[in-house]
Chain A
């Protein structure tokens, strides 16, 4: 079990550029979550997937943000026309969800992608 991985770990971009982050969950975890953490705050929920279906999006996720999870494996989070307010750590977490009638809700986090928008 290799844990949740995220790529890149750091991203510096200029305002107005598009950026894309990738998250690889723990193998066979059905649920995948994205959170955003700004300096000095706790993480805030953005969105989550059950397999390939995106089931909920926070109002924090403006129309410049889009997330996908094709084939229910890795996920990408894209931010279009970045703004300085998008600077934050973007965290991905996965949980095994419902498997064989058993529910496991514990979320395991990746190392995060730190985005800096200049």
Chain B
């Protein structure tokens, strides 16, 4: 079974500072990996995805993530936080054939200090 672990349920950063959200996955074979963002009382919006092409993936809103097989990690970063980045972020994993159902981490809430 596949799973992800997000380290840190809450992250607080200053506006303009680096945002780093950690995600480690567990899978017997290289999976597909995703980062989604959720604003209050809304659904999930896809930020970026890794699908076995480039290991450094660029997404929307200035976010990027790097797939590191040796560390089984897929950490999300943004060089300079903006107030609008305050939200909950979810890392998710899926298999690469068949159902493609997503298994999510517990999420990391990001707050941005002015």
Contacts and interface: CB of A to CB of B under 8 A. Distances in A.
Interface stretch (B59-67, B69-77, B102-110): B102-110
A41 interface: yes
Contacts of B43: 4, 6, 91, 109-112
Given A33-B101, A56-B99, A111-B43, A43 B90 contact: yes
A84 B41 CA distance: 20
A112 B38 CA distance: 11
How many residues of A sit at the interface, in one of the four size bands?
20 to 34
Contact of B45 (A43, A109, A114): A109
A106 interface: yes
B49 interface: yes
- The interface residues of chain A, by DSSP majority, are classed as strand
A43 B42 contact: no
Contacts of B104: 42-44
A77 to B, nearest CB: 15
Interface of A: 4, 6, 31, 33, 35, 40-45, 48, 55-56, 91, 93, 95, 105-112, 114
Interface of B: 32, 34, 36, 41-46, 49, 51, 90, 92, 94, 99-107
A42 B101 contact: no
Nearest to B97: A103
A106 B50 CA distance: 10
A105 B105 CA distance: 19
B42 A112 contact: yes
Nearest to B91: A42
A109 B101 contact: no
A35 B101 CA distance: 10
Contacts of A108: 46
Nearest to A10: B41
Given A33-B102, A43-B44, A43-B90, 9 more contacts: A4-B43, A42-B92, A42-B105, A93-B102, A105-B51, A105-B100, A106-B34, A109-B43, A110-B43
Contacts of B103: 45
